[in-house]
Amino acid sequence: MNKRIHSGDFLVCASILTSGNNYGKLALWAKMLGLKLPSADQFHGIQATYMIPTIDYYWKDHQKSVIDSFSGKPVVVMGDGRNDSPGHCAQYCSYTIMEQTSKKILTLITLDKRTTDRKSVNMEKVGFAKAMEEMKAKNIEVEEVVTDAHLGIGAIMKTSYPDIKHSHDIWHAAKSLGKRLLKVAQKKSNAVLGKWTKDIVNHFWFACKEASTYEQFVSIWRSVLHHITNQHSWILPHGDGETTCRHGLLSDEDRNKPWLDPRKDCAVLKELASVVMDKRFLGKVHYYLNFRSTADLEGFHQLILMYAAKRFAYTPAVYRIRNELAALDHNNNADIPNIVNKDGTLRLQRTWNKKSSRWTAHPKKSEKNYTYVKDILRKALVMRIKDSVGMRKKRELEADDPRRIAAHLAPVEPLPTKVLMEEKVSRFK
């Protein structure tokens, strides 16, 4: 093409990146097959010189078109952070904002822990703040934000966005409730509660779905304390709220859980009530009344693993564009239809859930469409053809590159490699 690069070599290197693959593994595969691939230097040169700016430009252009489609409309957004490794050793964090109805990614922020004083735990809070600032700068009218119960994010919503409704993910709340119920049921004297834990958590989901006010929630929620003792109607002293269970007639044929006796199991019921009617727990009910879930956002974070696996190291710019490629993949395939059989029924696929120990079925989706990748490759090729300098020019770090703050993640500068090797002492010698 230009400056002695063949289009085939260029497209091989570009496609390794756009498909989310790792050069080292593909180079090993090619070596075993006896296939000649471009060198690592050539791959990284093409990636840094042409692919990073092309993908950045393409993502920003795509993001603008998505945001413009919501112009003048109040939107409900979901936000969540995803670290590139577990615990306090994470280097990168991706914070994503997704529109609740269309499931389209509106904003994607990537952070390096060098920008948060090398404290990984602060990255999600900072990422949320930056994402909300970007949404505000792009004039997106947000009426509700759904996140997990992150204390730092809650503080930002109260101080900076008091007029926006803040909801919490219902799944995280149910998971937390289940842990507290299991802790009570693990006591030997409370073993009878073990079989009721799942049903009580399901009742929490039902109460959040049915209630629209705090009073309605409490009225439905506390009925579990009556139901578990086989009392399905009761009298309230103040005369308000639910006085009967909402289920129909119960059959004793398929029962596998014993009812609790209010006389014999008084202590058990008291401990259960301490969880069900806990003041701190009930004080957060207003976060769950809109019955929101960030499950689709969690699914997108799984897709990021295809492009930025946690077992590989990336420079800040490469990590950013790999996240952008995942967002482009998600947005361009968010509306793919389910597969329909010849008789008009949905084609289903079954999977085994290890956690619940049961089979589940779900509709099977059509194959993904990656036509947008051709546009990215075309733009990168044009950029190369028009380039009069080539890849050997000196590349400077981007203005916001965290390596301008510190060249290494470690807080202490390293000694020369030769000195480190001389100081190294093996316990086996």
Q: What is the pLDDT of residues 341-383, one digit of tens each?
A: 999 899 999 999 887 788 999 899 999 999 999 999 999 999 9
Residue type, 188: K
Q: What average pLDDT does this structure show over 257-270? A: 87
Sequence ranges of the domains in the chain:
69-170+293-338, 175-287, 339-367
As a whole number of angstroms, the distance between CA 234 and CA 227 comes to 10
Taking CB atoms within 8 Å and a gap of at least 24, the contacts of 61-65 are 62/328, 62/331, 62/372, 63/105, 63/106, 63/107
- What percent of the chain is predicted at pLDDT more than 90? 69
Q: Would you say residue 35 has pLDDT above 90?
A: yes
Centre a 10 Å sphere on the Cβ of residue 353 and count the other Cβ atoms it contains.
Answer: 9
Question: What does DSSP assign to residue 233?
Answer: B
Residue type, 319: Y
- Identify which has the larger pLDDT, 237 or 94: 94
Task: Decide: 289 and 202 in contact? Cβ < 8 Å.
Answer: no
Which of 336, 309, 304 minimizes the C-alpha distance to 98? 304
Centre a 10 Å sphere on the Cβ of residue 45 and count the other Cβ atoms it contains.
Answer: 18
- The class (CATH top level) of 69-170+293-338 is alpha beta
Which of 254, 277, 128 minimizes the C-alpha distance to 200? 277
Residues counted in the chain: 429
Question: What does DSSP assign to residue 102?
Answer: T
Point out which residues pair with 144 in neighbouring strands. 76, 165
Backbone angles phi, psi at 276, to 5 degrees: -65, -40
Beta-carbon contacts of residue 101 (< 8 Å; ≥ 6 apart): 75, 76
Q: What average pLDDT does this structure show over 24-40? A: 95
Question: pLDDT tens for residues 210-255?
Answer: 999 999 999 999 999 988 988 888 887 655 677 888 887 777 766 7
Q: How many helices (H) and strands (E) does the chain have?
A: 16, 7
Task: Decide: 282 and 218 in contact? Cβ < 8 Å.
Answer: yes
pLDDT tier, 332 (very low <50, low <70, confident <90, very high otherwise): very high
Question: What does DSSP assign to residue 211?
Answer: -
Residue 290, classed as helix, strand or coil, is: coil
Q: Say what the pTM is.
A: 0.90
Residue 180 token pair: 């507290």
